Structure 1
Amino acid sequence: MKEHPVHPILYGAAYYDEYMPCERLAEDMKLIKEAGMNTIRIAESTWGTMEPERGHFDFSHVDRALDAAEAHGLQVIVGTPTYAIPTWMARECPDVLLVPEAGPVRNGAVLDHGHELYGRRQNMDIGHPYYRACAEEMIRALMEHVRDRRSIIGYQLDNETKYYGNANERIQRAFRDWLKACFGSLEALNRAFGLNYWSNRINSWEDFPDVRGTINASLASAFDEFRRTTVKEFLLWQAGIVREYLREGQFITQNFDYAWRGWSFGLQPQVDHFQCAEAVSLAGVDIYHPTQSALTGTEIAFGGDISRSLKQKNYLVVETEAQGFPQWTPYPGQLRLQAFSHLASGACGVMYWHWHSLHNSWETYWKGVLSHDLKPGRIYREVQEVGREMARLSTHLQGLRKKNRVAMLVSNEALSALEHHPIGDVLRKRDFKYNDVMRWLYDAFYRSNIECDFLPPTTRDFQAYDLVLVPALYTAEEALLDALKQYVADGGHLLATFKTGFTDENVKVWHDDQPHHLTEVFGLRYQEFTDTPDMRLWGENSLSGATCSAWEELLMPTTAKVLASYDNPAWQPYAAVTENVYGKGKAWYLGCYFSPVHLEQFVRAVIAKALPAIRPYDAVFPRIIRTGYNAAGHRLTYYLNYSDTEQSIAYAGRAAKELTTGRRVEDGNALTLRPWGVRIVEEDA
């Protein structure tokens, strides 16, 4: 059966009839429709309501929501409710509850027999046979019940699925079997992981220790990698069941989420999104971000760019905030800016979590489209304005495709390895890891209005891009380093940071010149590195005066041109930032972490000087420009103002129409952006 994402722009919210304090389903559906929304998402959170005891199913709330949605002409996405188990499951089989990595005590609470306490969501072992059996019964019963409903456009698998830090006996046995298959013998495993150290050598599979106690980063990182594969297997398993019931045109999605720093921040350590995307026909994502004066759009763009790259096509924002935390209550105009920013990255729809603010439990103060009084207010009216404008412009905005010339290579394996070998001065107890480096580099390009795609470490052909960015590729197969080397030799451009090419795929440090296999590409080598506080750089204008704040490699150039050195008497003989010609291409190496504003200046200088094929803009943050081609093949440009002051941008392009006002624009015309404003320009041809 061929699956297709729907084409009109989706706009809606999660709706839970089960949570409502009073009868108001018809009123809510009427308000949702009047808000310009066309879709609701239901069912993914309420297994305990739908199956109060094993084998006794009650889909009355699902039926009520579907009936009401259909009466008001709304589309529905139905979620499988497997991410929060019912109480009877924990009672009947306590082993279903996961055993956390922290062991039998966490946050001062003693856990029963080492298992997670019941109560929070996502507290189960997703591979446990009893859980799987119950989950399959639930999924099949739900799918049988709703399969003929014409309002259902797609299904969501589970919810923000991860392995949840599970380290119980079952998953550790499976991990040992996985290692056996990977290495064949204990001798090969001991050699690859360097387990002779501190008598960590394993001489019998029966002696394999509890992984939670390991001090070996190779073993710990492999455990992380294995557990990520279990997430892929779980989602493929669910997708296989759901796909049996699909009708033509319905999609399967999953709401992937990202690392959390109080908001969506970086690559998700517990999920390889590129691998798991095989389970879905429409990539989905949850993106949460600061607002008010902290709204920059960076998280929207970052999450969107990865999500679009997963399947190289449009994706669905399954969840984002309307209000969220009290500190995120948006300023007037910001909801509109946020919604169109998602579309500017290639989203085919925007769904809020959630419609109604909850009146009890954990997320009471995570507010929805309606506040606790359940009456339309300012947020509702702004959502309504967005909905009406989105509906009016839908045929112009749908199907956005991008032709980016820059790509960033990201690696879950490098992320895991640097969790166990953190970057920087551990004595100063700074939390500086892979995602910090990755976002440092990504943010500089975003703020410079240079868009990029994302690539997994399985990539071997980079020829579609003029510039490849490689943040902290600490661990990598030599075949990947070979591919990067060949890419530059053939005329490509490579920009890499410190901590690249340091260990093999088993997190074992290479015992030759660093960066391994890339010394000729970058025209340098190094033996020493340091973390000297508040050291400055001197060199080219874009870098002079930059402050190093986390890590410095003492680079010794061979053929590379030195762009910046360390302004420290001890380290002046060494380079900090370099540029090198290799074959037909060019490579830059950032040997240290320095102030973001100087990185932005450096990025713009590199692009202007060396990469004419990449279209530069005079405008930089807070004026953000995002482009692509709509379903009709017309070039579409979003101009976004992430500030509370009026901004002006000169339009560059063919004769066009500004869609939000309907006015004609020509090359060189000034576009005025009100505070937190949006302009969308569609070229004539």
Structure 2
Amino acid sequence: MEEILYGVAYYYEYLPYDRLKEDIEMMKKAGINVVRIAESTWSTYEKNPGDFDFSTVDLVIDEMEKAGIKVIIGTPTYAVPSWLVDMDAEVMVTRKGSGRAIYGMRQSMDITNETYLYHAERVIRKLIERTAYRANVIGFQLDNETKAYGTSGKNVQKAFVEHLKGLFDGDLDKMNAAYGLDYWSNRIDSWENFPDVNGTINGSLGAAFEEYQRLLVDDFLQWQADIVNEYRREDQFLTQNFDFEWRGYSYGVQPEVNHYKASKAITIAGCDIYHPTQDQLTGKEIAFCGDSTRSLKKDNYLVLETEAQGFPQWTPFRNQLLLQAYSHLASGANMVMYWHWHSIHNACESYWRGLLSHDFKENGTYREAVTVGNEWKELSSKLVNLKKHNKVALVVSNEALTALKWFPVDLNAAFQSSITYNDIVLAYYTQLYNLNIECDIVTPDMEGWTDYEILVVPALYSASDETYQELAAFVEKGGKLLSTFKTAVANEHLKISYEGTPKGLQETFGMQYNQFAIPSKTRLMSEYFTFEPDAEVQGFMELLEPDGATVLATYDHAPGDRDVAITVNEHGKGKAIYIGCMMDDKSFNQVILKIFTEQFDYPLSEYAFPIIVKKGINQSGNELTYIFNYSETEMAVASPTEGTSLREKRSVAKDESLVINPWDLIILENEQQ
């Protein structure tokens, strides 16, 4: 991109009165140079079947063009008009356990329904042919936070059976064996009499159906891309605002979409990032989502949605909006866009507040956006197109996530569980983040996913034999592998290994195990790590049996006759470490720190959270170093490099003392010789 894009979602159709020109004046003052429109208002553009009115779209594009503001057009297909449901009730999604959805909510349609697809294609074509030729329309967003929405009606069930036929070459016995359907007399006797998968208790079949639902998202986005590609210019991009697991904010891997596979339909990766602020602002969620989205195309990405004010607990403290904005850029974003410009005055998201409050007047958050936008105007050429070259990758898997939903980590006699896949993933990511170990986030689906010096592989419960072989080869050739409990337990069909665990990696790790437990008053012991007397094992523990590996830590109160918790093994030219349990944060921090510094010879930053350091190479070939202070306390640090402090416009010497204000940052540019 030629410049950093700074923008907002803008809904002229939601305004209580016409204030377009006034809004544009305020946008210009804030340095806003792009808006996203149209993705939410199908029923406004087509009030009756075939009766199209895009006058508001034309008006907004016209006025933005006069003001020099770029426009991203969203296809308006994620919320259907009521007349479409009246036309065909089966447009509404049928879900497991709840039946057919009732009209009212967005994202409640069946994305495979033929009536929906027919009318969705028509409105897409009408909108894109009307806007693609416009000079200030720079790209298109396909749909919005797309998922399959749990669709599992008869049409989807039938298509899933055809999918399984292809997967198993029409061999029913092969499928029954792969999924273990002889158990509890779940064996399926014919393709024609295939039972409703919504009722299955078989984890292999259930996980296969969830994987198929993710494939529906891939197909749906590619279908939309193919339509838009008939109209868009070569200089116009295609994107999608991928979101993440939602726990009141963006939290880990999205269970319902394989972002890497789905991103094949688009030309530039995009995402939604929502996160805590005020005293809970850490930057971790911004970094995780950014590292994940950047890795999809191994290139810069777009933040299509993030909060401005959001809910009351997200009204940012002074300087936090600025800190957040730069945090996106430090992960490789080329655009930051708020949802949304103005707080709307009715409907269900009236109190999910935009950059402006309901009175449309300037407020503290808007004034801070003015600071951000005008700094970016000046610094854009230095900050745009930042490239990251990380030596570490965190390996994640939609299939492992689904598997550990069906077979929870700490399942107890009451059939209850508290540890999820994303809990484990984020526990490891948090330690890397806090120690300033920058990483990419990759999946075994990606080409080159093992092209790193260090792989961190949390809870890769299920994968193909080929994936496990690639991990073994990675270590054999000199790679450094850190993996955790519940890794390499089962194959891609969730069939647990009868050859021992970790499946296919016992020689690599120099250990195996065949027992595990939920800890009770169990502490970690070690001559290598310096654990506190109360170092606690939490949630789950595997009882490791070394076979060539060196023991790094043990349990003091383990069931049975095995007490090994952490091992390290030299294998081939590389090294593999296995951590068999969850633990308290203080112990965990020490374990990761010592593993990276002493076992993996990784040069750590001298700083740790709340000082976060991120680096990259800008388009001039110079190294940029971002130093963030995620705290309410003024912090002093020694400059890690010489260079120019871009925001202060002054030279800085290496090791010079730098003072960073609360919730603030310094950016250093070091010109490369």
Same fold (TM over 0.5): yes
* Structure 2 residue ranges without an equivalent (≥5): none
- Among 59, 67, 78, the alignment partner of 1:83 is 78
Does 2:15 match 1:27?
A: no
Shift of 1:542: 4.7
Shift of 1:391: 1.2
Question: Distance in 1 between the 2:561 and 2:287 partners?
Answer: 38
Question: Distance in 2 between the 1:267 and 1:590 partners?
Answer: 21
In 2 relative to 1, CA 534–164 (structure 1 residues): closer, same or farther, beyond 3 Å?
Answer: farther
SS of match in other structure, 1:76:
strand
Aligned to 1:556: 545
**Letter in structure 2 aligned against 1:89:** L
Question: Distance in 2 between the 1:463 and 1:133 partners?
Answer: 42
Aligned to 2:247: 261
Question: Distance in 2 between the 1:597 and 1:8 partners?
Answer: 42
Does 2:111 match 1:116?
A: no
Q: Is the 8 A contact 2:443 2:449 kept in 1?
A: no
Q: Is the 8 A contact 2:450 2:471 kept in 1?
A: no
Q: Kindly provide the CA deviation profile for residues 333-365 of structure 1, in whole angstroms up to 9, marking residues without a partner as x.
A: 100000000000000010000000011111111
- Among 568, 585, 599, the alignment partner of 1:579 is 568
Question: Distance in 2 between the 1:567 and 1:72 partners?
Answer: 69
**Residues 87-486 of structure 1 mapped to structure 2, 5 A cutoff:** 87-103=82-98, 114-184=99-169, 185-426=171-412, 427=414, 429-459=416-446, 461=448, 464-486=451-473
**Letter in structure 2 aligned against 1:603:** I
Question: Distance in 2 between the 1:98 and 1:479 partners?
Answer: 36
Aligned to 1:62: 57
Question: Distance in 2 between the 1:600 and 1:401 partners?
Answer: 28
Question: Distance in 1 between the 2:452 and 2:185 partners?
Answer: 47
In 2 relative to 1, CA 173–463 (structure 1 residues): closer, same or farther, beyond 3 Å?
Answer: closer
Q: Kindly provide the CA deviation profile for residues 391-437 of structure 1, in whole angstroms up to 9, marking residues without a partner as x.
A: 11101001100110001111101111111111114438343211111
**Letter in structure 1 aligned against 2:30:** A
Question: Distance in 1 between the 2:447 and 2:546 partners?
Answer: 27
Q: Is the 8 A contact 1:534 1:549 kept in 2?
A: no
Q: Kindly provide the CA deviation profile for residues 37-96 of structure 1, in whole angstroms up to 9, marking residues without a partner as x.
A: 100110000000001111110101111211221121110001000000000001000001
- Among 40, 43, 46, the alignment partner of 1:48 is 43
Question: Distance in 2 between the 1:596 and 1:277 partners?
Answer: 34
Does 2:522 match 1:535?
A: yes
TM-score (norm 1): 0.96
Shift of 1:199: 0.6
SS of match in other structure, 1:657:
strand
In 2 relative to 1, CA 488–306 (structure 1 residues): closer, same or farther, beyond 3 Å?
Answer: same
* Structure 1 residue ranges without an equivalent (≥5): 1-5, 104-113
**Letter in structure 2 aligned against 1:71:** K
Question: Distance in 1 between the 2:312 and 2:436 partners?
Answer: 30
Shift of 1:508: 0.6
Does 2:657 match 1:674?
A: no
Aligned to 1:497: 484
Q: Kindly provide the CA deviation profile for residues 214-252 of structure 1, in whole angstroms up to 9, marking residues without a partner as x.
A: 110000000011111110011011011111111131111
Q: Which runs of 4+ in 1 moved over 6 A?
A: none
**Letter in structure 2 aligned against 1:617:** S
Shift of 1:523: 1.0
SS of match in other structure, 1:259:
coil
Q: Is the 8 A contact 1:459 1:480 kept in 2?
A: no
What is the aligned-residue identity percentage? Answer: 47
Q: Kindly provide the CA deviation profile for residues 555-593 of structure 1, in whole angstroms up to 9, marking residues without a partner as x.
A: 111111111111216467421111111111111101011
- Among 620, 626, 649, the alignment partner of 1:638 is 626
Question: Distance in 1 between the 2:488 and 2:26 partners?
Answer: 55
Shift of 1:534: 4.7
Q: Is the 8 A contact 2:643 2:669 kept in 1?
A: yes
Question: Distance in 1 between the 2:11 and 2:450 partners?
Answer: 47
Q: Kindly provide the CA deviation profile for residues 445-490 of structure 1, in whole angstroms up to 9, marking residues without a partner as x.
A: 0110000012221247555311001110000101110111011011
Aligned to 1:3: none
Q: Is the 8 A contact 2:61 2:136 kept in 1?
A: yes
SS of match in other structure, 1:494:
strand
Q: Is the 8 A contact 2:8 2:339 kept in 1?
A: yes
Question: Distance in 2 between the 1:395 and 1:534 partners?
Answer: 56
Question: Distance in 1 between the 2:50 and 2:410 partners?
Answer: 53
Number of aligned pairs? 668
Question: Distance in 2 between the 1:582 and 1:543 partners?
Answer: 27
Shift of 1:140: 0.5
Q: Is the 8 A contact 1:460 1:480 kept in 2?
A: no
SS of match in other structure, 1:118:
coil
Q: Kindly provide the CA deviation profile for residues 302-341 of structure 1, in whole angstroms up to 9, marking residues without a partner as x.
A: 0000100000000000000001111111111100000000
Q: Is the 8 A contact 1:316 1:349 kept in 2?
A: yes
Question: Distance in 1 between the 2:446 and 2:521 partners?
Answer: 37
Question: Distance in 2 between the 1:28 and 1:602 partners?
Answer: 52
Q: Kindly provide the CA deviation profile for residues 494-520 of structure 1, in whole angstroms up to 9, marking residues without a partner as x.
A: 000100000010001010111111111
In 2 relative to 1, CA 412–18 (structure 1 residues): closer, same or farther, beyond 3 Å?
Answer: same
Q: Kindly provide the CA deviation profile for residues 256-281 of structure 1, in whole angstroms up to 9, marking residues without a partner as x.
A: 00000110001111100000111111
In 2 relative to 1, CA 534–442 (structure 1 residues): closer, same or farther, beyond 3 Å?
Answer: farther
Question: Distance in 1 between the 2:476 and 2:50 partners?
Answer: 62
In 2 relative to 1, CA 570–231 (structure 1 residues): closer, same or farther, beyond 3 Å?
Answer: closer
SS of match in other structure, 1:394:
helix
RMSD: 1.3
SS of match in other structure, 2:51:
coil
Q: Is the 8 A contact 1:66 1:151 kept in 2?
A: yes
Q: Is the 8 A contact 2:567 2:577 kept in 1?
A: yes
Question: Distance in 2 between the 1:572 and 1:643 partners?
Answer: 46
